[in-house]
Structure 1
Amino acid sequence: MRRDQFLKSLAALAATGALPMSAHAAGNLKIMVPANPGGGWDTTGRALGKALQDAGAATSVTYDNKGGAAGAIGLAQFVNASKGDPNALMVMGAVMLGGLITGKPPVSLSQATPIARLTSEYNVFVLPSSSPLKTMKDVVEQLKKDPASVKWGGGSRGATEHIAAAMLAREVGVDAAKINYVPFRGGGEATAAILGGNVTIGGSGYSEFQQYIESGKMRPIAVTAPQRLKGLDIPTMKELGYNVEIGNWRGVYAPPGITPAQRQALTDMVVKATSSKAWVESLEKNGWTPAVLTGKAFDEFVDREFASLRAIMAKSGMI
């Protein structure tokens, strides 16, 4: 089924109340967003909170933003402060895995409890409209001449846009260690840096840049997807001759110390939320692809992602 048909089907079911899902309803649910406001994790966390309430799975939701170290700071606080809490969730995803690989912090994701993968998307690279560079080819030529002169703006070190930049460097014969990557604690900070011309090029999910692309303040020059994003005239890296393809995904974890029954209840709540009208609207608004995965399948997916990202980063000279 095509993505647009899938979304319409979910919306129709949500509107009629015909979704065959039941779940324990929490009172006040707490969502840890391990990034500063304005980015993909923040948007995802707040969209999920709204969907949980819309679905009747939670009566109220509070949020705690704690940015830094690719989510490791928020993860540490979540693991230590929310242990055993059956009404707490933390947003995470591929960016956190990459950051944990490069940063090697004392806290481990395995200390928390996997709940669900929610969405997937690909990175779009953009230039500020005032940039003298117009295409990815221009960026590559500048990168070859002087790697340090090209400032790449994006999420924390180890983020998928950082990995993509390293992959591109390797593709064009530039030492990935010379990449001048400028990490930010949240999408809002990265966007401000791009708009202000404080970085040469920026990368993130399309949804974070959409309003600036549509208003002409940013110029999209490439996407790390296997094919062009539907309805958008943005060439893929492979189209441009660079073998760079990497996806981003986001999900949620629960704290350590909860029981199997509590884990199942949280999983049921999240799955119920992803079938709500509010969540369907968020998918459409942000251009997210639904990618719900739970239970053992999600556990195994995260393990594979760790191995895959570690291999890509080693090959690209990042570790």
Structure 2
Amino acid sequence: MFNALRKPFKRLSLAALPLLALGAQVPAAQAQGWQPTRPVEFIAPANPGGGWDTLVRTSSMVIQSEKLAPQNFAAINIPGGGGAVAWAQIARDAKNDHKLFATSPPIILVPLAGTSRFSHKDFTPVARLNTDYSIVLVRKDSPYETINDLFEAMKTNPSLSVGGGSAAGSMDHIAIAGAAAEAGLEARGVNYIAFSGGGEAMISLMGNHVEAVITGAGEASGQLQGGELRALAVSSPERLGSTLADVPTFKEQGLDYTFEIWRGVMGPKDMSPEARDYYEDLFARMVKTDAWKQASEQLGWIDAFQTGEEFGVFLDGQLDQFSTILGDLGLLRR
């Protein structure tokens, strides 16, 4: 099993603040064609504190500060099922042109694992925004100083748990299982504990209920600055800048392993083409602003913008890739 898993896990192209963003005046050059006529619900399908939540709130604040839209973008958290609860609600509102949600690899992985009947094909791709990486965190008083220390302990004691903010068989689980396989562990045997979001996983780590947490590097930046946690490894090809410059990569520690987390925006399945085009243009303008670039630098996000059409093709490719990976893990249920 280990040998079969090593190659698929070498590099995975993956891609996760309840406040309201205040309204802003749209520039005159954009004040034509379809525009939102009421506040836009911008949904993070998880509790506050995770990657989806950070993406939604950061985007909303930049849209406000740069006066890119004529209506409020209201950040709304709908946790549960690794995203499945929110997707079910959005799917029932298929023609709503005033609803968006943040997305990332769980939109592919959770349905494949059999825990949601809704997949990316039940929604409208609007834009892919960025790429992030996975990071492994422990408490500041943890006995593990390196990622290899943690994996060696897991070999000796398979009950040691690693928490994550996505469902079993989804993004965080795949990320830690892949790294463990590269370190010589049985990927299926990793004791992964799924939480309803990155924030809840962090709370569990601080409460000494899990040995480590795997999460997005961007959402970990603030936690590391607080000094209560330490990072053992990041899944990027090279060290990340800003607040994560001191965190070593898996590769630096002898594990030939990288892992990417893409994030983007989708809407309901029957969103009008005019609304889809409006939002695609909105996010294309947003990612070019200095405010977005500054926030991305602070969060460790890397630009990976794609139009809605390009994003849809990318998602279909992810479906093929992850079907194979979950099959290797024995987690494919579709």
TM-score (norm 1): 0.86
* Equivalent residue for 2:151, pick from 130, 140, 148: 140
In the TM superposition, what is the alpha-carbon distance from 1:284 to its structure 2 partner?
A: 2.6
How many residues align? The count is: 300
Match of 2:252 in 1: 239
Report the CA distance between 1:279 and its aligned residue.
Answer: 2.4
Is 1:78 the equivalent of 2:78?
no
| Deviation by residue 1:146-178 (Cα, 9 ceiling, x = unmatched) | 211x21111122343211221133234433222
Structure 1 residues 307 and 280, CA gap change in structure 2 (3 angstroms): same
The answer (yes or no) to whether the contact 2:111–2:117 under 8 Å persists in 1 is no
Check conservation: 1:95, 1:248, Cα contact below 8 A: no
Distance of aligned partners of 1:179 and 1:113 in 2 relative to their CA distance in 1, 3 Å threshold: same
Match of 1:42 among 53, 56, 62: 53
Query: 1:270-309: per-residue Cα shift (whole Å, max 9, x none)?
Result: 2223233442332133221121101321111111122222
Match of 1:156 among 142, 158, 166: 166
Report the Cα offset of residue 317 of structure 1.
4.5
Give the stretch that moved more between structures: 198-207 or 92-101: 92-101
2:326 to 305, 313, 317: 313
Question: Would you say the 8 A contact 1:119–1:290 is kept in 2?
Answer: yes
Aligned partners of 1:64, 1:196: CA distance in 2, in Å?
27
In structure 2, C-alpha distance between the alignment counterparts of 1:128 and 1:267, rounded to whole Å: 40
Q: Which residue of 2 aligns with 1:301?
A: 314
- Structure 1 range deviating more: 258-267 or 137-146: 258-267
Structure 1, unaligned stretches of length 5 or more? 1-16
Question: What residue number does 1:285 align with?
Answer: 298
Mapped to 2, the partners of 1:239 and 1:294 lie a distance apart of: 34
Instruction: Pick the aligned partner of 1:178 from 177, 183, 189.
Output: 189
Q: CA deviation at 1:137?
A: 1.4
> Structure 1 residues 183, 85: CA separation in 2 closer, same or farther (over 3 Å shift)?
same
Letter in 2 for 1:71: G
How far does residue 207 in structure 1 lie from its aligned partner after superposition?
2.6
Alignment match, 1:96: 107
Of 50, 57, 61, the residue aligned with 2:69 is 57
Shift of 1:318: 4.0
Cα distance in 1 between the residues matched to 2:222 and 2:272: 43
Task: Identify the residue that residue 227 of structure 1 maps to in structure 2.
Answer: 238
Report whether the alignment pairs 1:67 with 2:79: yes
Question: Per the alignment, do residues 210 and 240 of structure 1 end up closer, same or farther by CA in structure 2, a change over 3 Å counting?
Answer: same
**Comparing 48-57 and 139-148, the one that deviates more:** 48-57
1:115 maps to which residue?
A: 126
What is the CA-CA distance between 1:201 and the residue it aligns to?
0.9
CA distance in 2, matches of 1:225, 1:316: 23
2:15 match:
none
Whether the 8 Å contact between 1:119 and 1:250 is mirrored in structure 2 is yes
Whether the 8 Å contact between 2:127 and 2:280 is mirrored in structure 1 is: yes
Partner letter of residue 294 of structure 1? T
Provide the residue aligned with 2:8 in structure 1: none
Give 3-state SS (helix, strand or coil) of 2:131's partner.
strand
Structure 1 residue matching 2:269: 3-state secondary structure: coil
Q: Which amino acid aligns with 2:295?
A: S
Q: CA deviation at 1:140?
A: 1.1
Residue 91 of structure 1, CA deviation: 0.8
CA shift, 1:226, in A, is 1.5
What is the CA distance between 1:312 and its match in structure 2?
2.8
Q: Distance in 1 between matches of 2:298 and 2:31?
A: 26
Q: Is the 8 A contact 2:82 2:197 kept in 1?
A: no
Give 1:84 deviation, angstroms: 1.1
Q: Percent identity?
A: 31
5 Å matches for 1:208-287?
208-230=219-241, 232-287=245-300
Distance 1:166 1:211, change over 3 A: same
Task: Say which SS state the counterpart of residue 192 (structure 2) adopts.
Answer: strand
Q: Distance in 1 between matches of 2:43 and 2:128?
A: 16
Counting only pairs closer than 5 Å after superposition, residues 182-221 of structure 1 correspond to structure 2 as 182-221=193-232
Q: Alpha-carbon deviation of 1:130?
A: 1.5
Question: How far apart, in 2, do the equivalents of 1:58 and 1:75 lie?
Answer: 26
Asked if the contact 1:34–1:65 (Cα under 8 Å) also holds between the matched residues in 2, the reply is yes
- One-letter amino acid of the structure 2 residue matched with residue 243 of structure 1: D
CA contact (8 A) 2:45 2:102 kept: yes
Work out the CA distance in 2 between the residues paired with 1:40 and 1:261.
28
Instruction: Give the counterpart letter for 2:236 in structure 1.
Output: A
